[in-house]
Structure 1
């Protein structure tokens, strides 16, 4: 039987011995220009807001510098590669619901970067709602208008049903909270050492932007 990817025990067991694994786009040079552009754009957006409001951005520069929330970081090398794109490690927030991988990644981060950006996320799952929908709502509570959400997926239609699917009473439509600003296909270059003909591996990069629709406090 295939492993149950929704089982926390599976991930804790796997992460206890696995050093690192990147599910999507292992070549960071493909993602780097996209992420760098978003981060630089975030700097300009934050500067404009501070100038307009005339308010202090907060202590430690957290309100004046782009913040990156890496959801389901696992043991991906991306967690450490992101450090190359920001000024300080406090701008990166890596989270996963496996306490095992968070403990191991914290130790690895201390050894490599002498910083701390890993934290454990709650593992409660809502079964009656398509997971990306509930994730979009949760993220909307954290994100200011104009915040960008970067998604990597194997699916070419990850967000195609946002407008059509009904939501339980009291929950907003994700499509009202986030608008699609970019959808790009990414083809992984074949391994030159691979002698077997294989179809190209296709990934999809989505960039969504937080709208100005406000959410009620919960």
Structure 2
């Protein structure tokens, strides 16, 4: 019997860097770039924001990065971010060449680790975005190992910002599921009432948002010391489609 095929290391930065180095052609996961148009249009229409900012997470080499410009007045209202600097640099150059060097006609690009809040807020302003686009990025991040988070954690669900809280507690680390941690971090950079539009392989990806939130301390952290994502996001449609804070 032949050995079982090893699953790709979707949670590894090295995997993505190698993939985007060897395969430079545009590639879209799950569906065509325009598949999310109805929910994007609905989300933008429900937001009281004359110039909404869109955060496209895990953009990769998807044509969606360029298609999103059809939903906004200015190209720079679209911010494409990815774990792999290789693909960010390649796609930014591809767009610049297609726009003949016209920076104003180009979207924004940043290499970001969504599981590291310092990386995220280093590239994205706090409470900035009205819509987050997630086209199978949650699927890839779910394949990563649990993240060891030091306590007390520097992110509070009540303050929605990073902080250097000095508390006299025993320092320790706890493992946190990567998708739960990403949900906490995305709340840092989204506006109240923002939408997180997610297209996923499975509707069971977001079970951690079900049920009642845990009791919290004054700073908004739960019993684990990490903000409870259920205090930050509410499922408003099918679990694999839309959330809002």
TM-score, normalised to structure 2's length? 0.63
Give the SS at the match of 2:26.
coil
Output one character per residue of 1:62-91: Cα deviation in whole Å (capped at 9) or x when no partner.
xx4111111111101110110111110111
CA distance, structure 2, for counterparts of residue 152 and residue 181 of structure 1: 14
> Which residue number corresponds to residue 126 of structure 1?
147
Q: In structure 1, which of residues 2, 13, 17 is the aligned counterpart of residue 18 of structure 2?
A: 13
Output one character per residue of 1:140-164: Cα deviation in whole Å (capped at 9) or x when no partner.
1111211111111011212223346
Relative to structure 2, which stretch is displaced further, 168-177 or 139-148?
Answer: 168-177
Q: How many residues align?
A: 170
Output one character per residue of 1:170-209: Cα deviation in whole Å (capped at 9) or x when no partner.
22211111111111xxxxxxxxxxxxxxxxxxxx742101
> Which residue number corresponds to residue 65 of structure 1?
51
> Which residue number corresponds to residue 99 of structure 1?
85
CA contact (8 A) 2:84 2:111 kept: yes
Q: In structure 1, which of residues 26, 32, 35 is the aligned counterpart of residue 32 of structure 2?
A: 26
Give the SS at the match of 1:4.
coil
Give the SS at the match of 2:203.
coil
> Which residue number corresponds to residue 84 of structure 1?
70
Output one character per residue of 1:72-131: Cα deviation in whole Å (capped at 9) or x when no partner.
111011101101111101111100111110110001111224424111103757252122
Shift of 1:168: 6.1
Matched, 1:208 2:194: no
Give the SS at the match of 2:79.
strand
1:127-142 aligned at under 5 Å gives the runs: 127=148, 128-142=175-189
CA distance, structure 1, for counterparts of residue 7 and residue 235 of structure 2: 33
Give the SS at the match of 1:146.
strand
Output one character per residue of 1:40-68: Cα deviation in whole Å (capped at 9) or x when no partner.
222xx23xxxxxxxxxxxxxxxxx41111
1:159-178 aligned at under 5 Å gives the runs: 159-163=206-210, 169-178=224-233
Flag the 1:170–1:206 CA change in 2: closer, same or farther, 3 A.
same
> Which residue number corresponds to residue 39 of structure 1?
44
Shift of 1:17: 3.0
Structure 2 gaps of 5+ residues are: 1-5, 117-145, 149-174, 215-221
CA contact (8 A) 1:97 1:121 kept: yes
CA contact (8 A) 2:27 2:61 kept: yes
Flag the 1:27–1:8 CA change in 2: closer, same or farther, 3 A.
closer
Flag the 1:27–1:102 CA change in 2: closer, same or farther, 3 A.
closer
CA distance, structure 2, for counterparts of residue 86 and residue 92 of structure 1: 8
CA contact (8 A) 1:71 1:96 kept: yes
Q: In structure 1, which of residues 4, 20, 25 is the aligned counterpart of residue 9 of structure 2?
A: 4
CA contact (8 A) 1:179 1:209 kept: yes
